[in-house]
Amino acid sequence: MRVALGMRAESAGESTVQTTDRCTVMFMRFEGQIVRDGRWWLAEVPILEAMTQERIRKEALAMIGDWLETMIDRKGFEAQVYPLSPTTFEIAGNNAAALTELLLRRRREASGTSLRDMATRLGSSSRNAYARYERGDAVPTVGKLDALLKATSPGGDFAIRESTR
Protein backbone atom coordinates (compact mmCIF):
# COMPACT_ATOMS: atom_id res chain seq x y z
CA MET A 1 0.00 0.00 0.00
CA ARG A 2 1.32 3.41 -0.87
CA VAL A 3 0.83 6.95 0.32
CA ALA A 4 2.43 9.65 -1.83
CA LEU A 5 3.66 12.63 0.17
CA GLY A 6 5.41 15.75 -0.95
CA MET A 7 6.11 19.38 -0.24
CA ARG A 8 5.50 22.26 -2.61
CA ALA A 9 5.43 26.02 -2.53
CA GLU A 10 1.97 27.54 -2.98
CA SER A 11 0.41 30.91 -2.65
CA ALA A 12 -0.95 31.25 0.84
CA GLY A 13 -4.68 30.62 1.06
CA GLU A 14 -7.39 30.18 3.65
CA SER A 15 -6.06 26.86 4.93
CA THR A 16 -2.41 27.88 5.25
CA VAL A 17 -0.63 30.11 7.72
CA GLN A 18 0.58 33.22 5.96
CA THR A 19 4.00 34.46 7.05
CA THR A 20 5.08 35.71 3.63
CA ASP A 21 3.36 35.76 0.26
CA ARG A 22 4.48 32.14 -0.32
CA CYS A 23 4.62 29.21 2.06
CA THR A 24 5.32 25.50 2.04
CA VAL A 25 2.45 23.06 2.51
CA MET A 26 2.29 19.28 2.72
CA PHE A 27 0.09 17.38 0.31
CA MET A 28 -0.91 13.76 0.41
CA ARG A 29 -2.18 11.41 -2.29
CA PHE A 30 -3.34 7.83 -2.07
CA GLU A 31 -2.67 5.31 -4.82
CA GLY A 32 -5.63 3.56 -6.42
CA GLN A 33 -6.45 1.06 -9.12
CA ILE A 34 -9.28 1.00 -11.63
CA VAL A 35 -10.23 -2.23 -13.36
CA ARG A 36 -13.06 -3.44 -15.53
CA ASP A 37 -15.11 -6.31 -14.12
CA GLY A 38 -17.68 -7.37 -16.69
CA ARG A 39 -19.94 -4.37 -17.30
CA TRP A 40 -18.61 -2.47 -14.29
CA TRP A 41 -15.54 -0.32 -13.60
CA LEU A 42 -14.19 -0.77 -10.07
CA ALA A 43 -12.15 2.05 -8.51
CA GLU A 44 -10.27 1.01 -5.38
CA VAL A 45 -7.99 2.73 -2.87
CA PRO A 46 -6.58 -0.23 -0.90
CA ILE A 47 -4.95 1.70 1.94
CA LEU A 48 -8.34 3.28 2.78
CA GLU A 49 -10.25 0.05 2.10
CA ALA A 50 -12.39 2.02 -0.34
CA MET A 51 -14.09 0.73 -3.47
CA THR A 52 -16.72 2.11 -5.81
CA GLN A 53 -18.22 0.83 -9.02
CA GLU A 54 -19.86 2.42 -12.01
CA ARG A 55 -20.63 1.43 -15.60
CA ILE A 56 -18.47 4.20 -17.08
CA ARG A 57 -14.76 4.53 -16.16
CA LYS A 58 -14.91 8.31 -15.79
CA GLU A 59 -17.90 8.01 -13.47
CA ALA A 60 -16.15 5.38 -11.34
CA LEU A 61 -13.26 7.80 -10.83
CA ALA A 62 -15.67 10.63 -10.00
CA MET A 63 -17.47 8.36 -7.54
CA ILE A 64 -14.25 7.51 -5.64
CA GLY A 65 -13.72 11.28 -5.29
CA ASP A 66 -17.27 11.61 -3.94
CA TRP A 67 -16.57 8.75 -1.53
CA LEU A 68 -13.52 10.58 -0.15
CA GLU A 69 -15.47 13.83 0.30
CA THR A 70 -18.27 11.95 2.07
CA MET A 71 -15.84 10.17 4.40
CA ILE A 72 -13.96 13.38 5.24
CA ASP A 73 -17.24 15.26 5.77
CA ARG A 74 -15.70 18.71 6.30
CA LYS A 75 -17.03 21.92 4.88
CA GLY A 76 -14.82 23.08 2.01
CA PHE A 77 -13.04 19.75 1.56
CA GLU A 78 -12.61 18.85 -2.10
CA ALA A 79 -11.16 15.65 -3.51
CA GLN A 80 -9.15 15.47 -6.71
CA VAL A 81 -8.55 12.31 -8.74
CA TYR A 82 -5.43 12.13 -10.91
CA PRO A 83 -5.49 9.35 -13.53
CA LEU A 84 -1.92 8.05 -14.01
CA SER A 85 -2.43 5.18 -16.46
CA PRO A 86 -5.32 3.12 -17.76
CA THR A 87 -5.27 1.09 -14.52
CA THR A 88 -3.94 3.47 -11.83
CA PHE A 89 -4.80 6.82 -10.30
CA GLU A 90 -4.00 8.93 -7.27
CA ILE A 91 -6.60 10.62 -5.11
CA ALA A 92 -5.92 13.72 -3.02
CA GLY A 93 -7.72 16.48 -1.17
CA ASN A 94 -7.20 20.05 -0.13
CA ASN A 95 -6.68 19.33 3.58
CA ALA A 96 -3.73 17.14 4.67
CA ALA A 97 -4.93 16.97 8.28
CA ALA A 98 -8.32 15.63 7.18
CA LEU A 99 -6.67 13.05 4.92
CA THR A 100 -4.36 11.95 7.74
CA GLU A 101 -7.36 11.71 10.07
CA LEU A 102 -9.21 9.43 7.64
CA LEU A 103 -6.16 7.30 6.87
CA LEU A 104 -5.33 6.65 10.53
CA ARG A 105 -8.95 6.02 11.55
CA ARG A 106 -9.56 3.58 8.66
CA ARG A 107 -6.31 1.69 9.36
CA ARG A 108 -6.98 1.53 13.12
CA GLU A 109 -10.58 0.38 12.63
CA ALA A 110 -9.49 -2.25 10.09
CA SER A 111 -7.13 -3.71 12.68
CA GLY A 112 -9.81 -3.64 15.42
CA THR A 113 -7.57 -1.57 17.69
CA SER A 114 -8.81 0.91 20.31
CA LEU A 115 -7.38 4.40 20.88
CA ARG A 116 -5.94 3.15 24.18
CA ASP A 117 -4.20 0.26 22.39
CA MET A 118 -2.77 2.70 19.86
CA ALA A 119 -1.34 4.87 22.61
CA THR A 120 0.24 1.80 24.22
CA ARG A 121 1.79 0.70 20.91
CA LEU A 122 3.26 4.19 20.53
CA GLY A 123 4.68 4.11 24.07
CA SER A 124 2.32 6.72 25.50
CA SER A 125 0.10 6.51 28.55
CA SER A 126 -2.41 8.96 27.08
CA ARG A 127 -4.67 8.01 24.19
CA ASN A 128 -4.90 11.73 23.34
CA ALA A 129 -1.31 11.62 22.07
CA TYR A 130 -2.49 9.46 19.15
CA ALA A 131 -6.06 10.79 18.97
CA ARG A 132 -4.95 14.31 18.04
CA TYR A 133 -3.73 12.94 14.70
CA GLU A 134 -6.89 10.90 14.19
CA ARG A 135 -9.02 13.96 14.95
CA GLY A 136 -7.06 15.99 12.42
CA ASP A 137 -5.81 18.41 15.08
CA ALA A 138 -2.22 17.87 13.89
CA VAL A 139 -0.44 16.76 10.72
CA PRO A 140 2.44 14.40 11.47
CA THR A 141 5.87 14.60 9.89
CA VAL A 142 6.71 11.85 7.40
CA GLY A 143 8.66 10.00 10.09
CA LYS A 144 5.82 10.26 12.59
CA LEU A 145 3.27 9.17 9.96
CA ASP A 146 5.41 6.09 9.33
CA ALA A 147 5.40 5.29 13.07
CA LEU A 148 1.63 5.88 13.31
CA LEU A 149 0.90 3.61 10.34
CA LYS A 150 3.14 0.88 11.75
CA ALA A 151 1.27 1.13 15.05
CA THR A 152 -2.11 0.83 13.30
CA SER A 153 -1.03 -2.27 11.42
CA PRO A 154 1.87 -4.10 13.10
CA GLY A 155 3.64 -6.18 10.49
CA GLY A 156 2.02 -4.16 7.71
CA ASP A 157 4.16 -2.75 4.94
CA PHE A 158 3.59 0.83 3.82
CA ALA A 159 5.56 2.62 1.12
CA ILE A 160 5.72 6.39 1.41
CA ARG A 161 7.00 7.78 -1.85
CA GLU A 162 7.11 10.92 -3.93
CA SER A 163 4.07 11.36 -6.16
CA THR A 164 4.56 10.92 -9.89
CA ARG A 165 2.49 14.04 -10.60
Strands 159-161 and 22-37: unpaired
Alpha-carbon distance 101 to 124, whole Å? Answer: 19
CB atoms within 10 A of CB 18: 11
3-state helix, strand, coil in the chain (%, to 5): 35, 30, 35
- In tens digits, what is the pLDDT along the chain, a chain of 165 residues? 555 544 333 333 333 332 334 444 457 889 999 999 999 999 999 999 999 999 999 999 999 999 999 999 999 999 999 999 999 999 999 988 899 899 999 999 988 988 888 888 888 878 887 888 888 888 888 888 888 888 887 777 776 665 555
pLDDT tens for 45-75 read: 999 999 999 999 999 999 999 999 999 999 9
Task: Give backbone dihedrals phi and psi of 22, rounded to 5 degrees, phi first.
Answer: -135, 150
For the entire predicted model, the pTM comes to: 0.79
Burial group, residue 160, by CB count within 10 angstroms (0-12, 13-18, 19+): middle
User: What is the assigned CATH class of domain 2-93?
Assistant: alpha beta
> HSE of 55 in the Cβ direction (CA atoms, 13 Å)?
1
